[in-house]
Structure 1
């Protein structure tokens, strides 16, 4: 006959495998034998929340906490149940208690951050990013924290850049790019922020990264050409600008910018062959402001 510990281990394995009915039955059988088994009460309470029986889950977890009041994981799961019931103030109290008991509890920092962000007040993003950064300092490989932090920094960096807050945007986008170097749009926005900050050579690197990740990223190809021309590399600018024209032959910006680059190199006949108006009607040099993002596919 299986011991309570063996039965609890099997029930938890079933639970983690998503076999909720079998896990629930086994937790219940354990509690029939040992009604105050705290782990069975705790895990059955968590399971109850997962099947939309949050209030019943809170009752079970309350009993588990009465038996183990210093268990940080039980407080954290109580907070998660309260969050699922939209009782956010109570959830915050339980997260605080869990983290007071165990300050290095990365998952609790992450869950608390998710709960904080759901409030959507003006300070939510700042508070959420701080909590997620703390979670990642504790456990750098914690994917939910990393993914959420990337999304928040990406969105905030874009908004800051669009509103002219270049330095804060750079901070957000540099961090986002470090966390997810495979995101072409983050690399592109970082290039725009670097260009706006006057760091033109650095922007070339960022635009190259974006284009390497998504080869048909029109705005990245165009802005790479602009950045190269702005760093006195007009000849090198021709390749990405020609590529931009190939990506979208009907789009005027790549063609116009390519013509300007050709003229700056004394190749007026090639510029004329692009079918543009005479040189007198064109600006004397490539535009200084990179094009906005045309959000790319991600080819992973």
Structure 2
């Protein structure tokens, strides 16, 4: 006959393998035999939250916490259940208890950041996520949420004209997510708006390299190259934007203008002849600018 410890180990293996029904049955059997078995109460509570029974899970974890109030992981998992129930203030309080017991608990800093985000305090959430990553740089949930919050805050700041704070957010997001074309594009816009046009060229090139049919990035790359007097390269980028969408008036008109600057009037005339009445070329603007379907 299996011991309680052997049964618990097997139940946890089933739980981690996603075999929730079997794990639940085994946790329940353990509690039938030993109603105050701490780990079974704790893990069954976690499982209940994972299967949409947060209130029941909270009852179980509260029993576990009463049996061992000095266990930071129990308080952290209690916070997750409370957050799933929309009880953000209580969730943060449980995170505080976990962190009081273990200040270097990176997952608890992450969970607390999630709760602060749920309460609408992204400023504090970002600080908590940074702290989590200083403790555990590879912690994926903290990294992904920090990317998302830095990206979004950077976008909003850029749109409201807060260029320097936007740069701080978008540089951080780009460091964490160097393969994200949207972040590279927004960073290019912020750099351009700050007058750092040579640096904006690098960011826009990154965006186009990651997503070759990224129309707005290719167009803004052409504008930025023209801004640093690299007209042949600007024409190449604007031609790329025009080929992505030949009906895009800004790309067509700006390409024609750049061709004229280089003395390639015949090519510019051909574009103008095929065009509707032209409008002044657009300048780089904040926003994601991704093509439809991206």
How high is the TM-score relative to the length of structure 2? 0.92
The equivalent of 2:19 in structure 1 is 19
* Equivalent-residue separation in structure 2 for 1:184 and 1:43 (angstroms): 40
Change in 2 beyond 3 A, CA 1:177/1:298: farther
Shift of 1:282: 8.4
Q: 2:195 is matched with which residue: 198, 201, 217? A: 198
* In 2, Cα distance between equivalents of 1:92 and 1:173: 27
Q: Does residue 294 of structure 1 match 2:289? A: yes
Q: What CA distance in whole angstroms lies between the structure 2 residues aligned with 1:70 and 1:102?
A: 10
CA distance in structure 2 between the aligned counterparts of 1:53 and 1:291, rounded to whole angstroms: 46
- Of the three residues 177, 185, 207, the one matched with 1:210 is 207
Do the aligned residues in 1 keep the contact of 2:256 with 2:271 (CA within 8 Å)? Answer: yes
Would you say 1:265 and 2:262 are equivalent positions?
yes
Contact 2:178–2:184, Cα closer than 8 Å, also in 1: yes
Greater Cα offset, 45-54 or 197-206: 45-54
The 5-angstrom pairing of residues 74-223 of structure 1 reads 74-120=74-120, 124-223=121-220
Using the alignment, how far apart are the partners of 2:53 and 2:258 within structure 1?
Answer: 66
**Could you list the per-position Cα deviations for residues 3-31 of structure 1 after superposition, in whole angstroms to 9, with x for gaps in the alignment?**
22211111011112222221111112222
Counting matched residue pairs gives 290
Structure 2 spans left out of the alignment, 5+ residues: none
Instruction: Measure, in 1, the Cα distance between the counterparts of 2:187 and 2:7.
Output: 53
Provide the C-alpha distance between the structure 2 equivalents of 1:22 and 1:282, rounded to a whole number of angstroms. Answer: 67
When structure 1 is superposed on structure 2, of 45-54 and 88-97 the one drifting more is 45-54
Secondary structure of the corresponding residue to residue 274 of structure 1: helix
- Structure 1 unmatched runs, 5+: none
Residues 24-58 of structure 1 show CA distances to partners (whole Å, capped at 9, x for unaligned) of 11112222232222111111111222233323322
Instruction: List per-residue Cα deviations over 1:41-100 (Å, max 9, x = no partner).
Output: 111111222233323322222221222111000011111222222222222211100011
Which residue of 2 is the match for residue 54 of structure 1?
Answer: 54
Residues 108-163 of structure 1: per-residue CA shift (max 9 Å, x gap): 1111211221123xxx1111111111111111222221111111111111111111
| Post-superposition offset of 1:297 | 7.4
Question: 2:271 is matched with which residue?
Answer: 274
Of residues 289-298 and 43-52 in structure 1, the stretch that sits farther from structure 2 once superposed is: 289-298
Check whether the contact 1:222–1:254 (CA below 8 A) recurs between aligned residues.
Answer: yes
- The DSSP-based 3-state class of the residue aligned with 1:186 is helix
More displaced stretch, 196-205 vs 127-136: 127-136
In structure 1, C-alpha distance between the alignment counterparts of 2:141 and 2:291, rounded to whole Å: 23
Note if contact 2:249-2:279 (Cα within 8 Å) is conserved in structure 1: no
